[in-house]
Structure 1
Amino acid sequence: MKFMIIFWGAFLLFFCVPFPIFIYMMGGELATEPRNSLAVSYGYLGFSLLIWGYILVFFINNLFIKTFKQKNTIHSILRNGIPREAKVIRYQLIKYFPKTNMNAIQIVLSFPNLRNTMIEHEVMFHDSKPQEKRFDVGKEVKVLLNPTVSQEPYFILSDQKVGFNASGMMLRIVFIILLIAYITGLYSYFYLKESFDYGWRFLTFMHPIIFSGVMTIIYVLVFQLIVGKFFKSKKEERILFAGRNAEANIISVSQTGLTVNDQPELMFQVSFKDYKGTEHIAVYKKIVSLLNLSSVPKAGNIEIMYDENDPKKIMIPKIF
């Protein structure tokens, strides 16, 4: 999965940076006369600045601001988190790092959520003390739930350490510097090459200054879509950690026609009563492995979780 994300990231990035420039340079002779009126050219210039400004804000927010906010949230959970006893029900060793004597592990924990509903949650992290076997199946660990369900993370281990990865932060800084250098170079190079004392009147929508930015925005949206298909949505996570459970009756199960890596998406229509006794009908969609397709229930009852403030929002923790 990690390889596929990197591959598609690099593939899409090619169409954002070198591809628009290459197509433009090969597309025709250099124009020595204005292509647009002054008003239109400044409209294109303003549009391009908006695009690149949005892109810069997007990456700075995701690479830095969100990271600092998450660190502050973890500190807040360590001070004010709601304690729970969690049981390890599954353990998988991902990788061992002999230099630091650390294990990258993936475990599944079972514990009560904020509504005291038993849930299961998968988490992956680095175990700095593998010799203590703290996370073997059957062991109990202490976790702290985030009382503010609108913020991530929704829970942490009670002894979790908070810090920044120095090499990771350096790579992020280098990326932002390269992005700013690329944007600055793009404007400078083409202005010196094509302005001919007419200012920005050489700009068109297909010019690399604009088209490269448009492709970068499309890249960001597509990349988020690809990555998002491999992880639970925030809405599902919030319901899992703060929702209530209920026994629902399956009305129908059908395929939506959407597939991800040849795995079909199923749509469940169910009816259930909330904790107040009010009946609701809700729809839930989930990607299901072809290997497990035959074991998906098509009728009868199924356990669901729902948002008590908006019972139409549901999730099915265990479909098979």
Structure 2
Amino acid sequence: MKFMIIFWGIFLFFFCVPFPIFIYMMSEDLATEPRNSLAVSYGYLGFSLLIWLYILAFFVNNLFIKTFKQKNTIHSILRNGIPREAKVIRYQLLKYIPKTNMNVIQVVLSFPNLRNTMIEHEMMFHDSRPQEKRFDAGNTVKVLLNPDVSQEPYFILNDQKVGFNTSGMILRTAFIILLIAYIIGLYYYFYMRESFDFGWRFLTFMHPIIFSGVMTIIYVLVFQLISGKFFKNKKEEQILFSGRNAEAEIISVSQTGLMVNDQPEIKIQVSFKDFRGKEHIAVYKKIVSLLNLSSVPKYGRIEILYDENDPGKIMIPKIF
């Protein structure tokens, strides 16, 4: 994971910072006359400012605001969370950190959700008291459910501690400062270099002031798309922690034709009755490993979870 973060960080830096400037310097002659009318140039200037303000807001939101919101949410759960007894189904030691005497572990917990439906959830965290062996398979631990499933996290351990990683916050702050310095430097350098008393009339779409921002926007959008495909599905998580269970009849199972990392996406159409007795037909899509494809049930009945307020939205916790 760290390697991927470093790789994509370098990718972002190269294609969004030196690459547009290098291409511009190599392909553009230094113009001593205005390239655009006053109206067009100020249009480009306003467009560039909107791009960079959006980029700055995106990183501030993801690096700071979401972190503070999550901390406040955890404090709220500690005060108002719904207690549950969770059984440890599976335990895996990922890494031991001698300096802090902590284990990085991955466990699968089984406990009732907000609708008292038994669910299983996998989580990874730092165990600060490994000598107590609290998370060995078969043990029970206390958890608190978040009564508001519109906010993450959806549950926490009963004795979870809340705090900030000081080094991480310093790095985030340094990144934002460097980003602001880069934006200001970009405008200052090219204005001093190319304005020639004509103001911003040297701006074009391919100018680094604009194109560098456009490349960063593309990177942000691609990152959001990739994270939506490969990381946890927020809607599914909400259904898992607040959904009602039902027994559904499988209508059809097929492949959608979409492949992600050579793994096929399947579509399962089911019919079921909600807790009011009303019948619904819903479709569930999921990326499935080729090794598990043959284990996907093609007919019969299957346990599902559905959104009480929108029964057309379902998830199948155990697809095979």
TM range (shorter): over 0.9
> Aligned residue for 2:47?
47
Matched to 2:126, the amino acid is H
Distance 1:95 1:39 in 2: 59
Please identify, of 172-181 and 291-300, the stretch whose mean Cα deviation from structure 2 is larger: 291-300
In structure 2, stretches of 5+ residues that fail to align are none
Indicate the percent of aligned positions where both proteins have the same amino acid. 86
Distance 2:163 2:20 in 1: 39
Distance 2:254 2:20 in 1: 42
Sort the Cα spacing of 1:206 and 1:56 in 2 relative to 1 into closer, same or farther, 3 A. Answer: same
Q: CA deviation at 1:225?
A: 2.1
Distance 2:155 2:78 in 1: 10
* 2:64 matches 1:57: no
Q: CA deviation at 1:228?
A: 2.9
Output aligned runs, 1:240-319, within 5 Å. 240-319=240-319
**Partner-residue secondary structure (3-state), 1:34:** coil
> Aligned residue for 1:94?
94
* 2:21 matches 1:21: yes
| Native 8 Å contact 1:249 1:271 kept in 2 | yes
Distance 1:79 1:318 in 2: 32
Give the TM-score normalised by structure 1: 0.97
Output aligned runs, 1:1-320, within 5 Å. 2-320=2-320
**Partner-residue secondary structure (3-state), 1:291:** helix
Q: CA deviation at 1:6?
A: 4.0
Q: CA deviation at 1:194?
A: 0.8
Please identify, of 108-117 and 224-233, the stretch whose mean Cα deviation from structure 2 is larger: 224-233
Deviations along 1:155-186, one digit per CA (max 9) or x if unpaired, are 00000000000000001001101110111111
Matched to 1:187, the amino acid is Y
Distance 1:24 1:120 in 2: 54
Sort the Cα spacing of 1:313 and 1:295 in 2 relative to 1 into closer, same or farther, 3 A. Answer: same
| Native 8 Å contact 1:16 1:216 kept in 2 | yes
Q: CA deviation at 1:9?
A: 4.4
Distance 2:183 2:134 in 1: 49
| Native 8 Å contact 1:13 1:219 kept in 2 | no
Matched to 2:156, the amino acid is I
In structure 1, stretches of 5+ residues that fail to align are none
**Partner-residue secondary structure (3-state), 1:26:** helix
Q: CA deviation at 1:129?
A: 0.7
| Native 8 Å contact 1:282 1:313 kept in 2 | yes
Sort the Cα spacing of 1:224 and 1:252 in 2 relative to 1 into closer, same or farther, 3 A. Answer: same
Distance 2:280 2:25 in 1: 59
**Partner-residue secondary structure (3-state), 2:121:** strand
Matched to 1:174, the amino acid is A
Sort the Cα spacing of 1:4 and 1:287 in 2 relative to 1 into closer, same or farther, 3 A. Answer: farther
Distance 2:227 2:10 in 1: 14
Deviations along 1:87-121, one digit per CA (max 9) or x if unpaired, are 00011111000111100001010000000000000
Matched to 2:21, the amino acid is I
**Partner-residue secondary structure (3-state), 2:258:** strand
Distance 1:2 1:314 in 2: 33
**Partner-residue secondary structure (3-state), 2:16:** coil
**Partner-residue secondary structure (3-state), 2:185:** helix
Q: CA deviation at 1:273?
A: 0.9
Distance 1:293 1:193 in 2: 60
Please identify, of 231-240 and 38-47, the stretch whose mean Cα deviation from structure 2 is larger: 231-240
Q: CA deviation at 1:226?
A: 2.0
Q: CA deviation at 1:282?
A: 1.1
* Count of equivalent residues: 320
